[in-house]
């Protein structure tokens, strides 16, 4: 639902939307964009659901005429601050990064750019962003939020790392996507190893070595090769 200066244009009611489908769980959400730039996501809930809704640390209570909600603590970024990596979370991040990187290489060698870009941006990049979030947390004492989807990364990453990150965003070009993949590996390694040393975690050096060598091999493999090695 969109509203422009009092003119109301209803595109589709929430309960009629199929993507995502309505869950009929006792609440609806109306998304409103105003022409002055303001946006409101208006959630409407049954009163009996209030005890289970809770709040995040940024919540601000504007009005409670019937005093049924109770006071909120002062708004803060607490729920959105990165936390130090656990042994398992770090291991899982490294494993997924190095395991899926060859999927990108396979897609590139086969000249399947959409497949390669999917794995690069939807899987490998997710793990890279997780590692960079831990890096920012470590360097800032886990006291600042890096923002949703890394929107504040430029504020907190060292200039060298920021420039490397920008190079991982490539157009739909095969060689440029190869180079983006290689820079991703370099940036991941550059941040993960010091992080592992500081928090006494285990970096998979052998996985890194073998996968990196494999990526280079596939990059250099003749286009019509019938065997991998």
Query: How far apart (Å, rounded) are the C-alpha atoms in residues 99 and 204?
Result: 11
- Quick one: 48 and 92 in the same domain? no
Number of C-alpha atoms within 13 angstroms, CB side, residue 181? 35
- Quick one: 87 and 150 in the same domain? yes
Q: What is the mean pLDDT of residues 61-76?
A: 81
Expressed as residue numbers, the domain containing 64 is 2-78
**DSSP single-letter state for residue 49:** G
CATH number of the domain that residue 129 is part of = 1.20.120.330
- Quick one: 67 and 98 in the same domain? no
Q: Each residue of 81-117: pLDDT tens digit?
A: 889 999 999 999 999 999 999 999 999 999 999 999 9
β-bridge partners, 31: 41
- Quick one: 168 and 206 in the same domain? yes
Give the chain's domain count. 2
Q: What is the mean pLDDT of residues 204-218?
A: 98
Q: Each residue of 138-187: pLDDT tens digit?
A: 999 999 999 989 999 999 999 999 999 999 999 999 999 999 999 999 99
């Amino acid at each position: 639902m969109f509203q422009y200066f009092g003119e109301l244009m209803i595109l589709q009611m929430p309960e009629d939307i199929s993507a995502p489908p309505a869950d009929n769980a006792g609440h609806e959400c109306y998304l409103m964009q105003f022409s002055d730039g303001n946006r409101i996501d208006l959630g409407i809930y049954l009163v009996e659901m209030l005890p289970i809704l809770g709040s995040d640390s940024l919540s601000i209570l504007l009005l409670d005429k019937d005093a049924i909600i109770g006071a909120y603590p002062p708004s803060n970024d607490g729920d959105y601050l990165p936390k130090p990596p656990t042994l398992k979370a770090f291991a899982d991040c490294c494993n997924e990064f190095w395991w899926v990187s060859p999927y990108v290489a396979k897609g590139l060698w086969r000249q399947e750019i959409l497949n390669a870009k999917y794995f690069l941006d939807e899987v490998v990049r997710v793990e890279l962003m997780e590692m960079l979030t831990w890096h920012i947390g470590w360097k800032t004492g886990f006291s600042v939020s890096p923002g949703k989807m890394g929107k504040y990364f430029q504020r907190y990453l060292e200039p060298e790392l920021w420039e490397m990150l920008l190079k991982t965003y490539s157009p739909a070009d095969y060689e440029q996507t190869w180079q983006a993949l290689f820079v991703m590996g370099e940036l991941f390694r550059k941040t993960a190893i010091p992080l592992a040393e500081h928090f006494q975690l285990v970096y998979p050096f052998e996985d890194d070595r073998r996968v990196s060598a494999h990526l280079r091999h596939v990059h250099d493999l003749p286009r019509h090769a019938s065997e991998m090695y």
